[in-house]
Amino acid sequence: MPRFDKTGPQGMGPRTGKGLGQCISSSNKKQSLADRKQELEKELNNIKKEEAELIQEK
């Protein structure tokens, strides 16, 4: 949260830095990591789905 105005990094909104900045407290870090893990798992599933579709097209 640059300038501590809840705008997040580059003005993109809160929690857009994925807990990597100075604003994260130790009590929130665990939840932030869990949230990030969930986002990455969703992204990986989307990649696998796209890969499967490309394989079927051959």
Task: For the chain, give every domain's residue range.
Answer: 2-57
Q: What is the mean pLDDT of residues 30-58?
A: 92
pTM (2 d.p.): 0.52
Q: What is the structure's pLDDT at 58?
A: 73
The pLDDT tens digits of the residues spanning 4-40 come to 666 766 667 666 666 666 666 666 777 788 889 999 9
Q: Which residue has the higher pLDDT, 54 or 13?
A: 54
- d(Cα 13, Cα 25) in Å, to the nearest integer? 18
SS (H, E, C) the chain: CHHHCCCCHHHCCCCCCCCCCCCCCHHHHHHHHHHHHHHHHHHHHHHHHHHHHHHHHC
